[in-house]
Structure 1
Amino acid sequence: MGPSGTEGRYGSAAKELESSLVPTGVSTEVSAPLPAPGEMAESPEWLLATVISRLGTAISRSLETGARQADLTGTQTSALYFARFSRPQFATVGNLARVLGVSHVTVVRSIGPLIERGYLERETGTDRRTTHLVITELGAEAVEIAFRQRHQLLLDLASTLPREEAGHLAELFAGLAQELGDIVGMRDFGPCTRCSFLDDSAGGASSDGPLTLRCDRFDMSIEPAEMNLGCPHFARIAERRSPLAISNQRPRVPR
């Protein structure tokens, strides 16, 4: 007789879902038992965790609403955001699949309708093997619609705090983001100057040319002028102004 109950019915599906969401090498084992309800109420750590969880839920719901308003799926919204704020040379189908944690085929299927609607264009890289994603003006407008509600939510939250407290909170969350990156293996939570994937020993000033650095995450050289451009991972966390204000790319008008 086969397994019965919830474990038998959903066990394999749950394991498959977990493997798709949890980065490779990250343990899902609980290192300590949950505290009793009374202890949780008195624990500043659990209070902070609760606040962060509720904030994450509110942001997720605002993104879902924005995606519906733009007539996009969640994956399509992420694809447009990725193309809008990534460095041009990083905005490839392969890197998008890596950032989203999905297969190359899934990305191709998701961006197909975006290309048909004139939101994205595909360009073949100089190596003739890489496909770059270029956002159009229509695509940039869709990104703004999709993220407008989330942006307003964050502005409303920030406006409830005195400026000094908001600054302290920003520093706190920046530190938490860095710690989270170290835990789950997503360490590039800042521009190149703060990213642990930046290898400043790979290059250097010489008589032959300017200072060159290297990104170990994407295995490519970075010029000093590119140090503050958007990164596929950083863009999701660093956005503090209008979603269209921090891009270094000019949207393309559909031909």
Structure 2
Amino acid sequence: MFKGFVRRAAAVKALAVGAVLAIAVPGTAYANTVGVTVKTPGATAGPGSTFSEISTHADCAGGLISGGGINQAIGTGSSSNGNHVNGTGPSSDGSTKYLGSTGVVGTDVTHWLAIGGGGGATNETYAYAVCSGAGINVGGATVTVRNSEASGPNTATSGQTVTVGCGGNDGKLVSGGAAISSGDVTGTDFTGPGSGGDHLNGSYPSDADGNPVADGTTTASYWTAYTHTGGAGSSGNHSDAWALCANDGV
């Protein structure tokens, strides 16, 4: 489990802001009533020991996940050195990552995992889930979760890129996730990476080759994870990427 080492008290406030957009059409005005709610359980203590990791989660009581995030309250002191993100992605039950063969691994996700890693200090880790709110009819919508995994990285100062995309009938890419772990997705939950320096460097929308999409792109359909070992060698690592694809049947 990841452990956080900053003893400084941290307070996080999530503000939900509703915005109404009026679109001018001859003789008619339409209001955008889409709403979202950010959910967080607050601080989860940890990682609580050096060179370990911790898992926490945020959940949607109603509605579907459209994305999520992680924050480690590491501050700027010397105790922050080495603390890093190991994973942020969807979960089937709020405690484990999706297991099974790569490809479609789930639908209509309502849980988001945050995996924090510790170097030489302890810390606090926060998980966030962005849930569909009032004004969004999710009755006819399906969110498909796709996964891709690759072995590594294990060599010191090396990285691994993994890309996964939405299928032809999956709809549009709405979000994604990424992680580095010692467990492979076919049957093992998150376990600490092989070295305390292993970490996640990137989790972003991309093209099929893993290149980040440009500002203003409206056709992104892939998500890429970029992981790294740090300065020490490792063993048994696997890198995962998840894509969340939404289809309302229209």
TM-score by length of 2: 0.22
TM-score by length of 1: 0.22
Give the greater-gyration-radius structure (CA): 1
Q: Which has the higher helix share?
A: 1
Q: Which has the higher strand share?
A: 2
